[in-house]
Amino acid sequence: MRKLYIVKANEDFEKIISNKNFTKNKSFIIYQKKNNLPYDRFGVSVSKKLGNAVFRNKYKRKIRAIIDNYKKNYNNSKDYIIILRKGAIDKTFQQLQEDFLSLMKQKRKDN
C-alpha cells in the first residue's frame, strides 16, 4: 500500500473515529468518514492488549495485504480506520479476509 493511501496522523484517526460511523463484527471494527480526495485512505490499528510488537505488526501486514487485494472495489473517496478485535486472533488469513469483505459490503449497503 502506497503512503498516499495511509491515514497516519493521530488527529486524523480521532476525527474519523469521533464521526461514529462504524460497522463491526467479531474480528474488526471499521470506522469511515468522507474525504475530499479522489482516493480512499486506510488506517490500521491493533491494540497493545492483543500482543507484543511482533504480533501487532504481523496482523497489520495481514490487514494491509487484504486491503491491497481488494482496494479497487472500494474507490469512493472515504477514510477508513480498521481496528482489529480479540476475536480475530485465532482466525486464519482466509477467515480474516472473509470477515473484512463482509464488513465492507455491509458498509457499502449502509451508504
Beta carbons of 46 and 105 less than 8 angstroms apart: no
Reply yes or no on whether the pLDDT at 80 is more than 80. yes
Q: What is the pLDDT at residue 39?
A: 85
Q: pLDDT (tens digit, 9 = 90+) per residue, 35-50?
A: 888 888 899 999 999 9
Residue ranges with strand state E in the chain: 22-24, 28-34, 41-45, 78-84
Task: For residues 79 and 82, give the distance between their C-alpha atoms in angstroms, rounded to a whole number.
Answer: 10
Q: What is the pLDDT at residue 84?
A: 95
In CATH, 3-95 is 2.40.420.20:
no
Q: What is the pLDDT at residue 18?
A: 93
Q: pLDDT (tens digit, 9 = 90+) per residue, 2-61?
A: 666 788 889 999 999 998 889 999 999 999 999 888 888 899 999 999 999 999 999 999
Domain boundaries, the chain: 3-95
